[in-house]
Amino acid sequence: MKDLLCLGIESTAHTFGAGIVSEDGKIYSDSRDVYIPVIGRGIHPTEAAQHHNIVAPRVILDAFRKADLKPGMIDIIAYSCGPGLGPCLRVGATIARALSTYLCKPLVPVNHAIAHIEIASLNTGAKDPLTVLVSGGHTAIVAYAAGRWRIYGETEDITLGNLLDMFAREVGLPLPGGPEVERLAEMGKIFIDLPYTVKGNDVAYSGLLSAALRKYRDGVDLTDLCFSLQEVAFAMIAEATERSLAHTEKKELLLSGGVAANKRLQGMLESIAREHNVKFYCVDKSLSGDSGVQIAWNGILAYRCGLRIDVEKSLVKSRWRLDQVDIPWRS
């Protein structure tokens, strides 16, 4: 019997992506187009959605072309159902519905956050990890237990990705902010005291953001500031991770999501893993950001457990908590 093939469509925020993955985890193609707001401005949901609408046909065709497959050869259509920005999610969902109806293929809704974790697991080979998911949309420390991914720690205000992006935007650096801040941080030398907020296993970043911006306006050197911002922000999530690790006693630690690409953050978590005798995994840069591939892979996992949705019922859920999703493929 031939392996199932799944087309995944991603459109939660900046990225419109289409990816094709087979049942055995082989990635056939990964096609994306990222909406980039002008410098100094944040993401505007309807503008992003407009961007997605424009690029969608090209991105999807590109995914088929790279995979050297015809649309009819696909077995499953998976789409990012949430959480995310409503207008953006609806673009992906509408296209997925149309494809599903036209091609007569089953439609599978996927939780974007869980898809990040599952693609990172596939990519690294982690089996039962404590997972740190850090991106523009998420900052959470989760582990699987009894049918669900459970949240052990998370941000109480903005995400780590938000923090870096908002800081970058305010000081005039191009978006996405993460790589820029990382580049400048490597040149920083002096550690500047900034507020450090850990509450149990939770973190809060908005106080850190405003304090860092205040320092910037006071004329503190930008490289020193980027350096200190990273040191404090990452130490916070690292501490929350270490607490969760001690608590859950998991034997693997997995770093996933867009901010996972940051070398300093990787170094901190790796150090913690070593200290606790735990195996450290980090998702490859090519799969850390939002992509259709993560949706496609999660689509396969879900479909194999019999999950699918009628086109008429395939609404988007912009506030779909990752700990509300049943995970039959892990039980």
Partner 1 sequence: MKLLSKGAEADLYIAEWYGRKVVIKRRISKVYRNPCLDLRLRASRTVREAENMHEAKKASVPTPIIYLVDKESTTLIMEYIDGLRVKEALGMLDNSQKEKLCEQIGMKVGMLHSTSLIHGDLTTSNMIVCGDKVFFIDFGLSFHSHSDEDKGVDLHLLKRALDSTHYKESRDCLKYILQGYREVSGESYTSKILKKMKEIEYRGRYFSGRT
Long-range contacts of 321-325 (CB under 8 A, 24+ apart): 321/83, 322/83, 322/111, 322/113, 322/114, 322/138, 322/140, 322/142, 322/149, 322/151, 323/142, 323/148, 323/149, 323/150, 323/151, 324/148, 325/111, 325/114, 325/148, 325/149
Q: Which of residues 96-125 bind partner 1 (CB under 8 A)?
A: none
Structure tokens at 82: 């949430």
Among 26, 65, 127, 199, binds partner 1 (CB under 8 A): 199
Q: How many C-beta atoms surround the C-beta of residue 159 within 10 A?
A: 23
Q: Does 193 bind partner 1 (CB under 8 A)?
A: yes
Q: Does 91 bind partner 1 (CB under 8 A)?
A: no
Among 158, 208, 260, 261, binds partner 1 (CB under 8 A): 158
Alpha helices in 22-85 (DSSP H): 45-67
Gap between the Cα atoms of 231 and 82, Å rounded: 31
Instruction: Tell the smallest beta-carbon distance from residue 318 to partner 1 (Å).
Output: 7
Q: Does 198 bind partner 1 (CB under 8 A)?
A: yes
Q: Does 78 bind partner 1 (CB under 8 A)?
A: no
Q: Does 92 bind partner 1 (CB under 8 A)?
A: no
How many helices and strands, by DSSP H and E, does the chain display?
10, 12
Give the x/- contact pattern for partner 1 in 202-241, rule: CB under 8 A. Answer: x-------------------------x--xx--x--xx--
Assign 142 to helix, strand or coil. Answer: strand
Q: Does 179 bind partner 1 (CB under 8 A)?
A: no
What residues make contact with partner 1 under the rule CB under 8 A? 12-14, 42-43, 45, 82-85, 136-138, 140, 145-146, 150-152, 154-159, 161-162, 165-166, 175, 191, 193, 196, 198-202, 228, 231-232, 235, 238-239, 242-243, 245-247, 267-269, 271-272, 275, 318-319, 321-323
